Structure 1
Amino acid sequence: MNLEELLGTELYKQVTEKLGDKKIMLDDGNFIPKSRFDQVNEAKKELETQVKDRDKQLKDLSTKAQGNEELTKQIEQLQLLNKQTQTDYEAKINQMQFGYALDSELTNAKCKNTKALKALLDIDSIKYQEGKFEGLESQLEGLRESDSYLFDLDAAPGNTGSPGNFGRNNNNPSGGDSQTSFMEVISNNSLRK
């Protein structure tokens, strides 16, 4: 929109007659006041000076660092070695955790010999995340069918705390009730002492 459209034809003629050769500019939001322009210009000059100072400092530092290139290379090599060692350490820890968890899982599956069973497993296809195995149970089921001698499937639970096989499967010598058999075991133990 120009000034004539804004003021109207009559008022525009009156204003232009009064102004003569002077021109009026409308602010459409693209004009910058001189004070703001000067402020931005000064900031630009200051930043250019800072960039020149920084370039000079970098040049000085690079000159000083040329004597320390060997030390810098050694530091970089040590940092790489440290990262490699940490990666190896983490891999060994993960491998140990996997091994312990696998042994525990095989023991829970009533395996007689974990080493023998591990030799038959495809370890690479077993995934272990958050304490759970993926792909192990299917392999164990197949081995239970093909190599059942590796598993103790019919065994009675061990470590129950009872002396011998007392009270289990009615194998007590007295042939009586379990209370009588229990009392006999206690008296036999007290006689041994």
Structure 2
Amino acid sequence: MKYKLLTLLTLAFLTISMPAIAAASPGEHEHHRSDKHPVIDWSSYPADIQALKSELDQIRTEQKSLFHQMRSQSEVIKEARKTLTSDQRNTLKKPAKQLIEQMKTSRDAIHDMREKKHESWNSFHEHATKQQWSTAKKDLQTIIKQKRQILENQHTIVKLQKQLITLINPSHESHIHTEE
């Protein structure tokens, strides 16, 4: 009974941690934040800032792709988990927990970096409004660096999910997207 409870708790932990991966998505929080600032007419900004905006757009596109991959893999994990026997769950509990802890660490790093990125965006808006282009450009470069760090953590989550899928059911590995 004790093992069944522990197994159920581990599976509940898996279920709870997967939605947390959704928090690693690039879009929802940024859209909410953008409501606080006026829509930017990037074409009115200096060319070097427009170039940085283009780089940001490329990162955002990659993040969206990774998020879709994380969602898809999360579904594969849920389906594979359903096929496990009690003995399999007990066997997989410890290695799965390690992978989940690593995912949580990456997710937490994403949240921390997002807070810093939001502060940088606020600084950018302030400097751009005052047409302090040199400082605004530095702010945007900082944002790009922060977004790249977030992207790196999202890649880590994708890799950890793949490992979890392989751990749970190696036959599901063929369903994993390889969009890296």
TM-score (norm 1): 0.23
- Greater C-alpha Rg: 1
Q: Which has the higher contact order (CA 8 A, sep 6+)?
A: 2
TM-score (norm 2): 0.24
Larger fraction in helix: 2
